Amino acid sequence: MLKTTRKGNWMEIITQKKWEGKTIENIFRKEWEVPKKLTHLFRMENTVLVNGLRANWNHPLKNGDRVLIKLFEEVAPASTLDFFYDVQVLYEDDHVIVFNKPANMSTHPNDESDKGTLLHAAQFHVQSNGEKVTIRQVHRLDKDTTGAILFAKHALSGAILDRMLEKHEIKRTYLAIVDGHIKKKKATISEPIGRDRHHATRRRVSPSGQAAVTHYQVFKEEKGHSYVKCWLETGRTHQIRVHFSHIGHPLVGDRLYGGKPLFKRQALHAAKLEFTHPITGENIICYAPFIDQPPIFKGIDVYNI
């Protein structure tokens, strides 16, 4: 694990064996796989120092070299934030933050009038802790889906996490309750998903849609319902909801896709989030406790899924 220390607006790394003999260019382009444009900004804006001097990006690092990277430039938010919501934090450090998103809250605004989103609550959270940074979500959850969602606190961690998401290196485990008893207890649904031309918000399985892959495993059955764990290879809008509706087992409470209206929302929860820390390389595992009142998922220990 790479050890880092925050020094004001800078991150300090004392070079150890992991980086010895590598250049700053190697680290940005090979280790972290940072996009060319962002790498160029770090190079041109003099935001990487080695032993107090402007870094030579092509000079090999030595054991004990003191590398400073300016990551925490204070950025004033685009608008005044007046939205407060006490969202549960599952993990937080200088680089990333994981929230446990409640139901009936969009991940991000769809227009300027939409002020009550998780992004607003997240921005308020970091500002209330004295951090004047602009954060953004790495992935998203539907408005009425609860659970773990990952945010980046600066451009470098955001770029690295974007790449990890694209390469399926961020593992998300969902729990869902679906109508009926599924015949195949463990399987993969691989069906492309596209827009429904007859409904503004619906999606549907369509040959012309985008590739979508959902792995699932049934772990409990009761009262005409199946409890399933799901893992996504892709992150299409409404993917789990569309796929289970397509195989004849819509999510309970999901009125949009034919689920029985036993709950006020679809029974879908992002229960577990696993990823390699974008900076330190530490393995991070976050479990998201159930927060619905009254509860939807009963008799399930989220920490043992």
**CATH number of the domain enclosing 49:** 3.10.290.10
Assess if residue 129 is contained within a domain.
no
In this predicted structure, what is the pLDDT of residue 29?
A: 94
Q: Is residue 9 part of a domain?
A: yes
Write the secondary structure of the chain as one string of H (helix), E (strand) and C (coil). Answer: CCCEEEECCEEEEECCCCCCCCCHHHHHHHHCCCCHHHHHHHHHCCCEEECCEECCCCCCCCCCCEEEEECCCCCCCCCCCCCCCCCEEEEECCCEEEEEECCCCCCCCCCCCCCCCHHHHHHHHHHHCCCCCCCEECCCCCCCCEEEEEEECCHHHHHHHHHHHHCCCCEEEEEEEEECCCCCCEEEEECCEEECCCCCCCEEECCCCECCEEEEEEEEEECCEEEEEEEECCCCCCHHHHHHHHCCCCECCCHHHCCCCCCCCCCEEEEEEEEECCCCCCEEEEECCCCCCCCCCCCCCHHHC
Count: domains in the chain: 2
Confidence check: pLDDT of 28 > 80: yes
Confidence (pLDDT) at 137: 93
pLDDT, tens digit (0-9, with 9 covering 90-100), for 243-298? 999 999 999 999 999 999 999 999 999 999 999 999 999 999 999 999 999 999 99
In a domain, residue 136? The reply is no
Residue 83 — pLDDT band, cuts 50, 70, 90?
low
Cα-based distances in Å from 97 to 100, 213, 280: 10, 27, 14
Q: Which amino acids are annotated catalytic?
A: 142
**Average confidence (pLDDT) over 134-146:** 93
CA atoms within 13 A on the CB side of 87: 36
Residue 229's pLDDT is what?
A: 98
Asked whether the beta carbons of 135 and 118 are under 8 A apart, the reply is no
Residue 304 included in any domain: no
Residue 243: inside a domain: yes
The whole-number pLDDT of residue 16 equals 86
pLDDT at position 243, please?
98
The pair of structure tokens assigned to 11 is: 């991150």
State which of 70, 85, 117 marks the end of a domain: 70
Q: Report the pLDDT value the prediction gives residue 67, as an integer from 0 to 100.
A: 96
The token pair that represents 18 in the structure block: 């992991």
Calculate the alpha carbon distances from 239 to 1, 48, 147 in Å: 34, 41, 16
Domain end residue (candidates: 18, 37, 70): 70
264 and 253 Cβ atoms separated by less than 8 Å: yes
Query: 227: domain CATH number?
Result: 3.30.2350.10
Q: What is the domain range of residue 260?
A: 172-270
Q: Among 7-21, 25-39, 67-81, 171-185, which is the least confidently predicted range?
A: 67-81
User: What's the chain's average pLDDT?
Assistant: 92
Residue 137's DSSP bridge partners are: 151
Instruction: State mean pLDDT over 218-226.
Output: 94
- Does residue 203 lie in a domain region? yes
Please name the residues in contact with 111: beta carbons below 8 A apart, sequence gap of 6 or more. Answer: none
- Residues 31 and 138: their CA atoms lie apart, in Å, by 20
Q: 294 preceded by cis ω (within 30°)?
A: yes
Classify residue 35: in a domain, yes or no.
yes
Do the Cβ atoms of 161 and 150 come closer than 8 Å? yes
Per-residue model confidence (pLDDT) at position 82: 60
Closest of 71, 11, 74, 76 to residue 41, by C-alpha:
71
Q: Is residue 247 part of a domain?
A: yes
- Give the whole-angstrom CA distance, residue 56 versus residue 68: 13
Q: Average of pLDDT values for 119-131?
A: 87
pLDDT band at 305 (very low <50, low <70, confident <90, very high): confident
Highest mean pLDDT among 103-117, 120-134, 218-232: 218-232
